[in-house]
Amino acid sequence: MKRFKQFGTGILIFFCVFMLCGSVHASHGKSLAKKKGILLVAFGSSEASAQISFENIDKQVKATYPGIEVRWAYTSHIIRNKLAKQGKVLDSPEVALAKMQDDQFTHVAVQSLHTIGGSEYHDLRKTVGAFKQMGGFEKIILGYPLISTQKDMEKAVDAIMKNIPAGRKKNEAVVLMGHGTHHPSNAFYAALMFQLQLRDPNIFVGTVEGYPEVDLIETLLKQKKIKKAYLVPFMSVAGDHAKNDMAGDEEDSWKSVLTQAGISCVPVLKGTAEFDEFVDIWVGHISGPLGHF
C-alpha cells in the first residue's frame, strides 16, 4: 500500500508538471524575460508561536536577496489542513512551484528549511527533479537543509555554543531535542552530539522519533551524576514537539522522564530559526542555487 501511494503521488506530480509545462511552452513560442524567485520550504507548524521562527527567516532572506520575490510552502499536509481550517492557506511544494510557473518565473531557487536531509527533504528533491525534468523553468535548483556537510556541522556547533542558555553552569547539561527520522540521515544527530562534546562534554543530543532516544540520554546524564538539564529544541520552530514531547506535563515527556530520574529540568522554548546564527546557514545555502542564475 505504501509503495502504491508513493507511485500514485509520483504520477500526480508528473501529470501536473506535464500539463503546466505544456501551457508554458505553448506561449506563442516566445522565450520569457528572466524572472527569479525563491521558494522557502518548511515542514510547517500550526502553532502561532512558531511563526516567530518563520518570520525571522523570511526577513533575513529578503534582506540578503533584495528584489527577488520570496514564497513559502509546507511539506506537511496535516499542518496545511489544520491551517486551512483556520483560514490560512499554505501551498505544498508542488502547488507552489506550479503557481510560480504559471506566474512566469524562469529561475527558481528552492530552499529546504529542514534540519537534516531526511525523508521530507528527499521527497522535495523528487518534486524539484520532476519540474526540472519536464523543463517547466529555465532553471530550478534545490538548496541543502541546515546540516548537510561537515562545514555545516561546524557552523551548527558554533551556533549552539553561542546560544547556550544564560546562567547555565558547566556541571549542568544542555539537552537538545531533534525530530529524528527512520531515514539513514538520522546519523547526523549522533555525529552532532560527538562534535558538540568535543567542545563541551555536558551537551547531549536526542530525538523524538529516532536515535539517540531519551532513555539513552537519561542514562548518560545519570552516569555523569548531572542534577540539572536545560531542554532545548533542535528544530527550526518550538512547535508541538517542543511544547508537548519535550516540555509537557505528560508522563512520557522528556521533562517528566528526566524529572522522575532526579534531574531538574529547565525547558527553553525557542526554535533554531529564532537565532540568526542558524538562519545564516540556511540563507547561505540559497547563494549556491542563485549563483547558477
Which three-class secondary structure state does DSSP give residue 231? strand
The answer to the question of residue 97 being in a domain is: yes
- Please give the radius of gyration of the chain, using alpha carbons only, rounded to the nearest integer: 21
The answer to the question of residue 70 being in a domain is: yes
Q: Tell me what pLDDT residue 31 has.
A: 63
Q: Are residues 116 and 256 in the same domain?
A: no
Q: Tell me what pLDDT residue 49 has.
A: 80
For residue 25, give Cα distances in angstroms to 45, 63, 135, 252.
36, 33, 9, 55
Is the preceding peptide bond at 212 cis, omega within 30 degrees of 0?
yes
Q: Are residues 222 and 253 in the same domain?
A: yes
Q: Are residues 114 and 193 in the same domain?
A: no
Q: Tell me what pLDDT residue 5 has.
A: 42
| Residues annotated catalytic, as ranges | 179
Q: Are residues 98 and 42 in the same domain?
A: yes
CATH number at residue 249: 3.40.50.1400
In the chain, DSSP assigns E strands to 36-42, 69-74, 107-112, 139-143, 173-178, 203-207, 228-233, 264-267
Identify the domain containing residue 218 by its residue range.
Answer: 164-271
Work out how many domains the chain is built from and give that number: 2
10-residue mean pLDDT series, the chain (293 residues): 43 47 44 90 88 95 96 95 92 97 96 96 96 91 96 98 96 97 96 98 97 97 98 95 95 97 97 97 88 70
